[in-house]
Each structure stands twice: as C-alpha cells, then as structure tokens.
C-alpha cells in the first residue's frame, strides 16, 4: 500500500509541475532619470554676451590655435551631452548666417519626424532668436540662433553622448527644453 501511494504521489507531483505556462515578455523599460530642480547662475567673460546657465552645466572655452574664442562647449552635466555655442561678429549679410543654420537643420530631415520652430523676440535686449526642436531619432534635437540683426550672431546646437533614441531621451529633452528657454530668455548682448 505504501508503494502504491508513493507511485500515485510521484505521478501527481510529476504532472502538476508540467503545466504549460505562457510567458509574456516584458516591454522594454528605461532608467528613471533623477534630475535636480532648475537653478541658474550667471556666466560672463570677455565675450560680447552674458549667459544665464543651469547650475549643473559647465562652460568650457574653445581654443582656436593658441587663442581663446567666444565659442563655448557647455557640458550638460548629468544630461550627458553638450551645447555647442558659437559666436560670430557678422561680416556678411544676416541672411548668409541664417541660411547656413537652416542648411544644417535640413541635414536632419532624413531622420526627423517633425521640425518645430518658433521665434523668441526680446527687443529690450535686442535679442532675436529662432529655436528649432527636432523630433525623431536625430543627432541634434535642439538648435537655435540669436542675433541683434546688425552685427552679432550666435547659434547653439545640442548633442547627446548616446544613441539618438527619441523615446528614451524624451524625459531628458523635456527637462533640457526648460533650461534652453531660460538660456535664451536671459541672454544679453554687452554694449
């Protein structure tokens, strides 16, 4: 009787552990980015402009040969990217510089699902800006240019140090957009 009970118990155990279970793969997830509240600091040097940048950003001056230029590589800190900021004393008509920036943005049309642009006009500071937000898996999701429309021209291009996966970068892009809006709205030309 004990042998019979053991055989029955063994069969029950064997068949109960052989269920067909359907495993459903989990969707891909992304790490949650913990970013600080937005706070800003002033940045000024011998260049003809003043900046207001986030506390988490660091400015690196760009050398051309042995000379410092007014171009800046602004490290985006925990966002893992760089804002390449370029300043030019205009020697050509304004349209030459605007067309150059527009041509650079057109290079992203292959990957971009949308290119949204809007103007920021701050007449009290003589800052006239066009801002471009590129959607999709593009190398540079944000680009802009600013001018006083007479003699000064500046442009900015954002690059991240990662693959351009728009969906995974979306939280970072939303955070950075707030900082770029502040950067532009508080930008000032020196007289």
CA dist 175 and 37 (Å) reads 10
* Domain annotation covers residue 69: yes
> How far is the first Cα of the chain from the last one, in angstroms, to the nearest whole number?
104
CA dist 36 and 175 (Å) reads 10
* Domain annotation covers residue 141: yes
Better pLDDT: 30 or 69? 69
A 10 A CB-CB count for 115 gives: 16
pLDDT of residue 25: 78
pLDDT of residue 26: 73
pLDDT at 159 > cutoff 80: yes
* Domain annotation covers residue 3: no
Torsion of CA 97, 99, 101, 104, to 10 degrees: -140
pLDDT of residue 9: 74
pLDDT at 28 > cutoff 70: no
pLDDT, mean of residues 138-148: 96
A 10 A CB-CB count for 17 gives: 7
pLDDT at 20 > cutoff 70: no
* Domain annotation covers residue 97: yes
For 5, the 3-state DSSP assignment is helix
Listed range (30-39, 56-65, 81-90, 124-133) with the worst mean pLDDT: 30-39
Question: Contacts for 86-89 with beta carbons within 8 Å, 24 or more apart?
Answer: 86/154, 86/155, 86/156, 87/47, 87/48, 87/49, 87/152, 87/153, 87/154, 88/152, 88/153, 88/154, 89/151, 89/152, 89/153
CA dist 174 and 72 (Å) reads 23
Domain carrying residue 154: 40-189
For 149, the 3-state DSSP assignment is coil
Q: Please, are residues 108 and 139 in contact by the beta-carbon 8 Å criterion?
A: yes
A 10 A CB-CB count for 62 gives: 15
* Domain annotation covers residue 87: yes
* Domain annotation covers residue 6: no
* Domain annotation covers residue 164: yes
pLDDT at 27 > cutoff 80: no
* Domain annotation covers residue 28: no
CA dist 82 and 160 (Å) reads 6
Query: For position 125, which CATH number holds?
Result: 3.40.1000
pLDDT at 122 > cutoff 90: yes
pLDDT at 13 > cutoff 80: no
CA dist 115 and 102 (Å) reads 11
pLDDT at 38 > cutoff 80: yes
pLDDT at 156 > cutoff 80: yes
Number of separate domains in the chain: 1
E-assigned strand segments in the chain:
40-44, 49-54, 58-64, 67-75, 81-89, 112-122, 127-136, 142-147, 152-160, 188-189
């Amino acid at each position: 009787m004990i042998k019979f009970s053991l055989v029955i118990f063994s069969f029950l155990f064997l068949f109960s552990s052989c269920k067909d279970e359907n495993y459903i793969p989990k969707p891909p997830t992304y790490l949650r980015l913990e970013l600080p509240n937005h706070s800003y600091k002033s940045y000024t040097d011998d260049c003809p402009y003043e900046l207001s940048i986030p506390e988490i950003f660091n400015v690196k001056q760009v050398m051309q040969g042995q000379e410092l230029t007014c171009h800046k590589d602004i490290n985006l800190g925990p966002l893992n990217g760089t804002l390449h900021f370029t300043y030019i004393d205009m020697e050509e008509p304004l349209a030459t510089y605007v067309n150059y920036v527009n041509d650079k943005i057109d290079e992203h049309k292959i990957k971009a699902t949308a290119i949204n642009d809007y103007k920021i006009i701050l007449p009290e500071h003589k800052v006239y800006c066009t801002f471009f937000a590129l959607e999709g898996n593009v190398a540079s999701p944000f680009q802009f240019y600013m001018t006083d429309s007479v003699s000064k021209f500046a442009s900015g291009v954002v690059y991240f140090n990662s693959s351009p996966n728009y969906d995974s970068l979306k939280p970072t892009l939303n955070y950075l957009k707030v900082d770029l809006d502040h950067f532009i709205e508080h930008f000032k030309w020196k007289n």
